[in-house]
């Protein structure tokens, strides 16, 4: 029954960030590489088979993309030792029942926790929650188990198969590591999942259901079946196997599909007053969240749906489109997606379309699917904090249908930034937009 009670929403700030990406396995490394214009895209290691055994086994056609944004030199055991003062032996034993996407989430979460300066021993565990998204979950474990079942039989299927593959096990394992007993969930809304996780976590804090949330996304879907599926539907960039770093080219005339990538991004979101009280490092304030559906087609994005989603986020933040200084778009490098999003941004920004900076960081990382929104949110808050917008790689000649926006090309642009928008759109016509603000008391 409606009581007429007025709800005062609490303010939410970002106090810690962590990531595992093709550009580096820490925030500092990834950010430095991004600003330097480096690419994290290369030949996928599993396709480097000089004898051709892998190619022959899977009957790989000549135009099959053998490139990806692959995480390199990742070892969770080393990270557990390096990022914790002491390691519980059980932390190492649990690796046998965690898929790689869970391990990425754990590594990014530990970095974010350390970055935030939180001392979990002095926090109420019931006020800490985790919402970590994944578009594909433990698809590595799915494929491994199915192969063993087909060729070796039931007895060779791991008893850890189910806890390895479930999409909520990243959130579950991070909650165990943090001893968090507050809201615990996993979202799987395709490529909008990371953005939805952050928005949902923000709401939990705004409404007083939690004080601290570890939120974001994780993905490790560089498997033969996953890549084959995207290839067969015509979504992947082809023709760039000899020059992989040039394959991801949002808004460019040469865009022909996305480059699949892996990794994780986790943000520590915190209620403002307690963050200020404990003198936490504050990156930015999360002020707006919009989510909606196109209600039209599962893979053909709708212009009006994106516009409505962005407007919801701006209304939630209480600002006008003209106040935006920077947009990190979804911009996967598919012609249909890039063109529709550029039209949506021009419709939204109107007179400020020529002054609001637009930079697509997928050009350097590739598309991290369910983790993309979280990784790009981190890049967005870093831009606000440092007053610099990274360049869009490979944007050499703007697609005429994408023209009319203030794209950042070739070199970073330094200027004072107050508000930034980060977009994530997913298959199924699901959309997420986040508004961040440079922190001001």
Give alpha helix (H) positions in 137-255.
139-152, 161-165, 169-178, 193-206, 224-232
> 3-class SS at 406?
strand
Using the structure block, give the residue that is written with the tokens 């030949």.
43
CA max distance for the chain: 72
How far apart CA 276 and CA 260 sit, in angstroms, is 39
330 labelled catalytic: yes
- Asked whether the CA dihedral 116, 101, 31, 74 is positive or negative, the reply is positive
Stretch (H or E) spanning 351:
none
CA–CA distance, 120 with 212 (Å, rounded to integer): 11
Geometric angle at alpha carbon 145, from 141 and 146, rounded to 5°: 115
Whether 309 is a known active-site residue: answer: no
Q: What is d(CA 205, CA 11) in angstroms, rounded to the nearest whole number?
A: 8
Reduced to 3 states (helix: H, G, I; strand: E, B; else coil), residue 169 is: helix
Which residue out of 191, 196, 255, 402 is catalytically annotated? 191
Question: Is 219 exposed, middle or buried (CB count within 10 Å of its CB: 0-12, 13-18, 19+)?
Answer: buried
Q: Of the listed 196, 255, 367, 402, which one is catalytic?
A: 367
Whole-angstrom Cα distance, residue 53 to residue 47? 10
Instruction: Single out the catalytic residue among 196, 255, 330, 402.
Output: 330
Token pair belonging to 375 = 């990784």
d(CA 435, CA 383): 13
Strand 128-133, strand 357-358: pairing? unpaired
- Per residue, the 3-state secondary structure of 82-106, as one string, reads HHCCCCCHHHHHHHHHCCHHHHHHH
Q: Are 406 and 357 in contact (CB under 8 A)?
A: yes
Please report the DSSP string for 267-297 in residue order.
EEEEEHHHHHHTT----EEEEEEEEEE-SS-
Taking a C-beta distance cutoff of 8 angstroms, is the pair 113, 268 a contact? Answer: yes
DSSP code, position 228: H
* Catalytic site positions: 191, 330, 367
């Amino acid at each position: 029954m409606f009581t007429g009670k007025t709800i005062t929403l609490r303010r939410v700030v970002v106090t810690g960030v962590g990531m595992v990406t093709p550009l580096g396995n820490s925030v500092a490394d990834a950010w430095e590489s991004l600003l330097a214009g480096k690419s994290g895209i290369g030949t996928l290691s599993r396709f480097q088979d000089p004898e051709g055994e892998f190619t022959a086994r899977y009957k790989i056609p000549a135009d099959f993309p053998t490139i990806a944004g692959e995480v390199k030199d990742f070892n969770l055991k080393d990270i557990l030792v390096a990022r914790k003062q002491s390691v519980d032996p059980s932390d190492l034993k649990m690796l046998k029942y965690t898929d790689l996407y869970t391990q990425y989430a754990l590594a990014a979460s530990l970095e974010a926790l350390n970055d935030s300066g939180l001392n979990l021993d002095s926090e109420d565990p019931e006020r800490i929650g985790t919402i970590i998204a994944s578009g594909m979950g433990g698809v590595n474990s799915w494929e491994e188990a199915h192969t063993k079942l087909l060729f070796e039989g039931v007895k060779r299927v791991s008893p850890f198969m189910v806890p390895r593959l479930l999409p909520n096990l990243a959130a579950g394992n991070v909650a165990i590591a943090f001893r968090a007993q507050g809201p615990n969930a996993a979202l799987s809304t395709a490529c909008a999942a990371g953005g939805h996780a952050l928005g949902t976590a923000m709401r939990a804090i705004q409404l007083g259901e939690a004080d601290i949330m570890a939120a974001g996304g994780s993905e490790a879907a560089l498997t033969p079946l996953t890549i084959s599926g995207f290839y067969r539907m015509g979504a992947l960039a082809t023709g760039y196997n000899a020059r992989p770093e040039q394959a991801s080219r949002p808004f460019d005339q040469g865009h022909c599909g996305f480059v699949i990538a892996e990794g994780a991004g986790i943000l520590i979101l915190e209620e403002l007053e307690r963050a200020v009280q404990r003198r936490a490092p504050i990156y930015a304030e999360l002020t707006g969240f919009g989510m909606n559906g196109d209600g039209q087609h599962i893979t053909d994005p709708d212009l009006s749906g994106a516009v409505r989603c962005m407007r919801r986020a701006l209304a939630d933040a209480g600002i006008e489109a003209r106040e935006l200084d920077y947009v990190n778009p979804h911009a996967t490098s598919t012609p249909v997606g890039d063109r529709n999003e550029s039209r949506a941004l021009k419709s939204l920004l109107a007179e400020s379309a020529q002054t609001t900076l637009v930079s697509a960081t997928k050009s350097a990382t590739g598309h991290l699917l369910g983790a993309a929104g979280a990784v790009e949110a981190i890049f967005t808050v870093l831009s606000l904090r440092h007053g610099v917008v990274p360049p869009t790689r490979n944007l050499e000649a703007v697609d005429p249908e994408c023209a009319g926006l203030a794209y950042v090309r070739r070199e970073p642009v330094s200027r004072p930034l107050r508000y930034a928008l980060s977009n994530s759109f997913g298959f199924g016509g699901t959309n997420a937009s986040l508004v961040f603000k440079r922190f001001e008391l």
